[in-house]
Homo-oligomer: A and B are copies of this chain.
Amino acid sequence: MIKTLAELAHLVGGEVVGDGTTAIAGVSDLSSAVAGQLTFLTHEKNITQLDGSQATAAVVPRCQREFSRPVIQVEDPNLAFALIHNLFLAKPFAAGGIDPRAVIGPGCQIPSEVTIGPSVVLGAGVVVGQRVIIEPGVVVGDDVRLGDDTTLKANVTVAERSCIGCRVTIHAGTVIGSDGFGFAIDGQGRHVKRPQVGTVRIDDDVEIGANVCVDRATFGQTWVKRGVKIDNLVQIAHNVVIGEDSIVVAQVGISGSTTLGRGVVLGGQVGVGGHLSLGDRVMAAAKTGIHADLPAKAVVSGFPAIAHPLWLRISSLLVKLPELFKDVRAMKKQLADLSPSSTATSRRLG
């Protein structure tokens, strides 16, 4: 595929500075791009890094600089470059069909335009959409639905009755629809399983990383809404709801029955307690522990979670605690010296 710089600029709403007829045959990052390729620069301050690149052209942020080669100036080079990169990678779906070593249960509905690899096992009544790809080693339970253009990577497990939308990608080793973790305690201190009879619903355009767990609901459904992106090794407990376009970074754990609004961002290793409600666009820094509801747009850090600026302030004070304790000790002594009558009190506090 060859595109002119002007065509690419048009795609991303940018402006060409230089020769718009420059032919672009592919993309790469600054260090590995070769002649004929487009590269990109995220920040104006890194502009000198462009000098060493062999790329023919670059996507750059809007600025007043002069460039040694043709560029496309855009508001957000990350976005523009992602759009162009996806354009170059796009290709028509090539159906591999159903491998004869796949096991297809009774009553499955599978269109001809799919790729189902060897060692795949589909249960009974699975409904598969157009252009679905199921890689080797995937196990799909009874009555699961997979929307159009969805991909299950190798060794994924999707348990019975899960409902997965269109253009969803689930990476290798992930488990969808495993039992939620719910027990009652009997008189002898033993745990009695609370049956987990609900389902998992994953809406369109969701991407889920590798070795993630999304548990089925106790009753009702665990629900990952449109456009959510989940990184690796994340735990989504039963009956959790994650709002549209939220981002859940690696190793986050979200406890049962908690609801996240739209556009929530949880940094790596964040923990969220059960039965909580996080408003739209809440952001939590890495390792935050959230124990209480949060209003929309709250930005939190720490454990227990507090406002991020306060957390920064406290973190900077914590390292001064040894000095503070020393100061207070000295002041107590000064006070005792100043005020003979208060000696008794001072001793008690010391």
Contacts and interface: CB of A to CB of B under 8 A. Distances in A.
Pick from A99, A304, A332 the residue with the most CB of B within 10 Å: A304
B103 A103 contact: no
Given A137-B139, A327-B332, A29 B218 contact: yes
A335 B269 CA distance: 46
Interface string A309-344: 010011101111110111110111011011100100
A86 interface: yes
A101 interface: yes
Interface stretch (A17-25, A60-68, A229-237): A229-237
B330 A345 contact: yes
Contacts of A82: 183-184, 192-195
A324 B328 contact: yes
B178 A175 contact: no
A298 interface: no
A150 interface: no
A19 B227 CA distance: 50
Interface string A202-228: 000101011111010011100000010
A330 to B, nearest CB: 6
A334 to B, nearest CB: 5
Interface stretch (A3-11, A45-53, A242-250): A242-250
Contacts of A183: 82, 229, 247
B213 A232 contact: yes
A157 B172 contact: yes
A177 B222 CA distance: 28
Interface in A231-268: 231-233, 235, 237, 245, 247, 249-251, 253, 255, 262-263, 268
Contact of A118 (B103, B249, B255, B335): B103
Interface of A: 28-29, 31-32, 76, 78-79, 81-83, 85-86, 89, 99, 101, 103, 117-119, 121, 135-137, 139, 141, 153-155, 157, 159, 169, 171-175, 178-179, 181, 183-186, 189-195, 197, 205, 207, 209-213, 215, 218-220, 227, 229, 231-233, 235, 237, 245, 247, 249-251, 253, 255, 262-263, 268-269, 271, 273, 286-287, 289, 303-304, 306, 310, 313-315, 317-322, 324-328, 330-332, 334-335, 337-339, 342, 345-346, 349
19 contacts: A31-B219, A76-B185, A83-B184, A83-B192, A89-B197, A99-B103, A101-B103, A159-B172, A178-B209, A191-B229, A233-B233, A233-B253, A237-B250, A255-B286, A269-B269, A286-B289, A314-B321, A326-B349, A337-B342
